[in-house]
Amino acid sequence: MRTMKFPKRYLVVILTFICTSVCYIERVGFSIAYTFAADAVGVNQASKGTILSTFYYGYACSQVPGGWAAQKIGGRKVLLLSFVLWSATCALVPLDPNRVFVMVVARLLVGVAQGFIFPSIHTVLAQWVPPHERSRSVSLTTSGMYLGAAAGMLFLPSLVKYRGPQAVFLVEAALGAMWSLLWFKYASDPPRSEHPKATAAGFGESALPINGSEKLKLENGGSSIRSAKIPWKKILLSLPVWAIVVNNFTFHYALYVLMNWLPTYFELGLQLSLQEMGSSKMLPYLNMFIFSNIGGVVADHLVTKRILSVTRTRKLLNTIGFIVASLALMAIPIFRTSGGAVLCSSVALGFLALGRAGFAVNHMDIAPRYAGIVMGVSNTAGTLAGIIGVDLTGKLLEAARSVDSSLSSPESWRLVFFIPGLLCIFSSLVFLLFSTGERIFD
């Protein structure tokens, strides 16, 4: 609308922020609701891990196709379709741990649908956001994940207690439907006048899908042309891309293990009730929200004021974030109180979120026109981390039951938190050695 007091791209960024919030309310909500329902019927930890990780199999399958679809069809349209699909699945599927096949199929469908979301978001942001606003825009958008997770941890346990696990599914479906209506009404592709220097900057209309007539016009002297052919080989053989991939894997390994198993750690490892913990259980995700935005603002400040180059800015924030997170992760089982566990998990997740101002924004630095594609490749690795980490944690805990049937000893949980801690150290070294902030894909 012409009467808006701020640029349209700000509205687009706010809508993508709400998008990621709703997605993570769904993910946290399922883990809380399913854990409650599964524990009520005596499902073992290994089986719980299998169901909780099923989402990520579907999610992994659709990451690269999601990037391709966003590149060819347009991120705006793909994003809307994916939201409608997963919301409908939540609305229609009953939550019954005894109906394993139904649960597996439903989580696969939700995973596939949500797998299109982040490649589409990166494609949309690459079109709308100029380079000097990328860090804070991407950080704000991704911080929605953590605010959504915090809100889920705060409100959904009580919803499960008083209304039952199925109520979580219905609330999530309603939130998905409301966002879809907002996106349909207010989102659009950037107009030609929005970014007159789109080709040089690598964003705007030059990142939009090109139909046949537009392609012919551009080939006959148009000012904004991009190759319709995606450089798959160059992307897959690029060391800077692999630096992003490795760090995406580690980030999501730590995030998904904590997101899916922290409720179990509080309940069984520390013998605490989620309902009795009050608002403290949401602090790790609230910390992620705060630190993600701090990282984005700091990164843009360092770049725009020319205090550091883009490359050094990305490496600095990535290294600080991952090293501090590794120490906090490995310290979690040392503390045997709710305050200690919340503090360590808050520091770990907060600094991981700070590190996203390093590796996560780097997609747009090195490949602004193929941001959705590169995001799809790296997020596939992040999704594999969810499959491996969530399922492996269930198996580690089931093995620990032979020693400690209640899983209340710190030894039962030490390996669970040491693995992501060590991965953080390794990933930060990889990013220091191989990443760059320079544009390497035309």
Q: Has residue 376 got a pLDDT over 60? A: yes
Q: Has residue 23 got a pLDDT over 50? A: yes
- C-alpha–C-alpha distance, residues 242 and 427, integer Å: 11
Q: Has residue 296 got a pLDDT over 70? A: yes
The mean pLDDT of 365-380, rounded to a whole number, is 83
- C-alpha–C-alpha distance, residues 349 and 86, integer Å: 26
pLDDT of residue 373: 83
pLDDT of residue 200: 41
pLDDT of residue 295: 92
Q: Has residue 36 got a pLDDT over 90? A: no
The mean pLDDT of 114-131, rounded to a whole number, is 85
pLDDT of residue 264: 81
pLDDT bucket at 370, cuts 50 / 70 / 90: confident
pTM of the model: 0.75
Q: Has residue 221 got a pLDDT over 70? A: no
Distances (CA, A) of 52 to 31, 35, 38, 223, 260: 7, 9, 11, 49, 7
Range from 133-147, 201-215, 351-365 that averages highest in pLDDT? 351-365
pLDDT of residue 205: 47
Cβ proximity of 367 and 245 under 8 Å: no
**Cβ contacts of 186 within 8 Å, gap of 6 or more:** 11, 15
* Topology of the domain comprising 8-191+231-434: Growth Hormone; Chain: A; (1.20.1250)
For 147-195, what is each residue's pLDDT tens digit?
A: 898 888 888 888 988 888 889 989 999 999 999 999 999 888 776 544 4
The mean pLDDT of 318-328, rounded to a whole number, is 97
For all residues of the chain together, what is the average pLDDT?
Answer: 83
Q: Has residue 377 got a pLDDT over 90? A: no
